[in-house]
Chain A
Amino acid sequence: NAGVTQTPKFRILKIGQSMTLQCTQDMNHNYMYWYRQDPGMGLKLIYYSVGAGITDKGEVPNGYNVSRSTTEDFPLRLELAAPSQTSVYFCATPGGHSYNEQFFGPGTRLTVL
């Protein structure tokens, strides 16, 4: 039971490149979230999903896209990477019975040069 897994762990992109950050959970929960964490700052919600086929914008969605075709996977897409997207990205899903609790993955550290 791995919980939440994220790949890759690290990535360096050039400006304008695209990539997909992968997130997979085996907790069988409908809710999944993507956050970014900038140095010295708290986490900001990018997108979230309350179930397969349903996604919604969070606080900072610009420059990102998501899809949710299965309960387990919630990939985050960067189409035209910009230096402002340099950050650590965390995926989360509720760990318990309540949808409130957030169980975080290990994160993906992305640098855009």
Chain B
Amino acid sequence: GENVEQHPSTLSVQEGDSAVIKCTYSDSASNYFPWYKQELGKGPQLIIDIRSNVGEKKDQRIAVTLNKTAKHFSLHITETQPEDSAVYFCASNTGNQFYFGTGTSLTVIP
């Protein structure tokens, strides 16, 4: 089955700096790649996604890039703010199944 790897597991940045989280996947049939933000005690919340026919997508301070050839995709957060502190998960979708990375705990230091 699909294997999604996510790095780093923890990330600390100064407020205003950028943060980058990277994921790789193994199944070339995967065609949808969402990113989720999870705050303590809550369910994951979709923040941005990208489909396999697109190389990059941006939504304000958040962007996602996809390299299908290399089977990796990345989340970029610019001008980080303390409220960006959370755990971020990448995922891939193959058919009806979703496979998640192990998460990145992002801390934005004021």
Which A positions have Cβ atoms within 8 angstroms of B?
Answer: 4, 31, 33, 40-45, 48, 50, 56, 58-59, 90, 92, 95, 99-107
Contact = CB atoms under 8 A, between A and B. Distances in A.
21 contacts: A40-B9, A42-B4, A42-B6, A42-B91, A42-B102, A42-B103, A45-B97, A48-B97, A50-B96, A58-B97, A59-B99, A90-B44, A92-B43, A100-B93, A102-B34, A102-B36, A102-B44, A106-B42, A106-B43, A107-B42, A107-B43
Contacts of A41: 102-103
B48 to A, nearest CB: 11
Given A43-B98, A50-B96, A104-B44, 14 more contacts: A40-B103, A42-B103, A45-B97, A45-B99, A56-B96, A59-B1, A90-B44, A100-B32, A100-B49, A100-B93, A101-B49, A102-B36, A104-B45, A107-B43
Q: Indicate the size class of the contact surface on chain B.
A: 20 to 34
Nearest to A48: B96
B25 interface: no
A26 to B, nearest CB: 16
B46 A44 contact: no
The 5 closest A-B pairs by CB, nearest first: A42-B100, A104-B43, A43-B100, A100-B32, A42-B102
Contacts of B98: 33, 43, 45, 102
A2 B69 CA distance: 40
